[in-house]
Amino acid sequence: MAWRASPTRRYACFGVVLSPWVPANRQLSRLWVTCARRILSVPLSMFERVIEQRRPEAKSSPNPPGLDVNALFAVVVDELDQDDALRVVQAIGQARAMLDAVRLRVLDRFSALRGDDASTRKLVASTDKISTARAKLDLALAHGVRKRLPGVFAALESGQLAGDRVAQIARATHSLSITQCRKVDQALLPQACEKTPSQLAHLLRVVIAQIDPVGVARRADQRTAQRRVTVRRGTGGMSWLRALLDSDDAIAVSKRLDAIAHDAHNGGDRRSLDELRADTVLDLLLETAPSRVVTHLRVPQAGHDPSPGSAADTETARPHRRGSHRSGRMPSSANKTTRRRSRKTKVGRRR
């Protein structure tokens, strides 16, 4: 990296090159300082060439400059150009990952000395100014990642994989056995080091489905029973309404909201599409949805095939999917009425 000239850097470069020949005698030291001040007028590029010759590995290394923490603190930010700034940012990311690895080692050691109990988690939480739940996750990560994902932890120690990516991998593999985790560990690297969080999530789904397909199907059935709706307070008098649904149902709901919002927007509604989607949810739930829970019963009709998916079945109720036990769905006639009413009112009257 080509650093721009500054008095501090010139002293540093001069010290790196000539420090082996600094005399121990005080008078000679003063003479050495006088000579150093005169030599500082020499262009900095000369000292840089000497340093590069003494450190040939810096030329062949594809990684950012091996700056330690103290060197990063000493960087003069106002004197960096674009390339230097990006390289320093990359070096900071590597140093942060290496420090995260040291932190996990220290937490694992601390847990081994005190024991993994509630008092240990509370002490870590109070020291690190985090919640007890977060301290519990950090201690579990420190204890498990080195044993279950040794390759991932090695990438963290070398600064190639960020700490949040390691936590993401650990969360995705927490239900796997140690043998399966080792297989995932080998399949992820080294391509996981170059992935964004969303790309890494997709890669994890593919790899885990290949290694443990039976477990993936079993966990999907178990999570179906965890569907729920939650409310989280936001800012400015707003709140978040979140629904954990089956993937197919969530996609169907999203497409339905998009269709209604686009219809209203194309009809001249000046609200944004996000506003229209949000207002559609309120209109469907608060204004047009029935207040009673309607239970569907499948009644076989004479001369019709009563098996799921037949014409008679689709007229009476929506067929149940594997792992789903649903009730309270809106009947098909109510759905049609809701569609007609939502189109006529242009998705509510709030502007």
- Give the Cα separation of 97 and 165 in Å (integer): 10
What's the confidence (pLDDT) of residue 321?
38
pLDDT-flagged residues of the chain (< 50) = 1-5, 7-14, 16-23, 47, 50, 54-65, 289-298, 304-351
Dump pLDDT digits (tens) for 212-241.
999 998 988 888 888 999 999 999 999 999
Of the candidates 123, 132, 161, the residue with the CA atom closest to the CA atom of residue 145:
161
C-alpha distance across the termini of the chain, in Å: 56
Dump pLDDT digits (tens) for 50-98.
455 544 443 333 344 455 677 888 888 888 899 989 988 989 999 999 9
Percent of the chain with pLDDT over 90: 48
Contact 108, 142 (CB under 8 A): yes
Q: Which residues pair with 240 in a beta bridge?
A: 232
Indicate the domain borders of the chain: 90-224, 229-344
What's the confidence (pLDDT) of residue 307?
45
What's the confidence (pLDDT) of residue 67?
53
Dump pLDDT digits (tens) for 101-110.
999 999 999 9
What's the confidence (pLDDT) of residue 25?
54
What's the confidence (pLDDT) of residue 232?
93
Spatial neighbors of 16 by CB under 8 A, at least 6 apart, are 47, 51
**Phi–psi pair at 343, nearest 5 degrees:** -70, -40
**Around 108, how many Cα atoms within 13 Å sit in the side-chain half-sphere?**
14
* Burial of 9 (C-beta count, 10 Å sphere; 0-12/13-18/19+): middle
**Phi–psi pair at 269, nearest 5 degrees:** -70, 130
Characterize 301-327 residue by residue with b for buried, 16 or more Cβ atoms within 10 angstroms of its Cβ, and e for exposed. eeeeeeeeeeebbeeebeeeeeeeeee
Q: Which residues pair with 242 in a beta bridge?
A: 230
* Burial of 82 (C-beta count, 10 Å sphere; 0-12/13-18/19+): exposed
For residue 17 the two structure tokens come to: 């090159």
- Give the Cα separation of 300 and 230 in Å (integer): 38
What's the confidence (pLDDT) of residue 301?
53
Characterize 91-113 residue by residue with b for buried, 16 or more Cβ atoms within 10 angstroms of its Cβ, and e for exposed. beebbebbebbeebeebbebbee
What's the confidence (pLDDT) of residue 35?
61
The DSSP H or E segment spanning 232 is strand 228-233
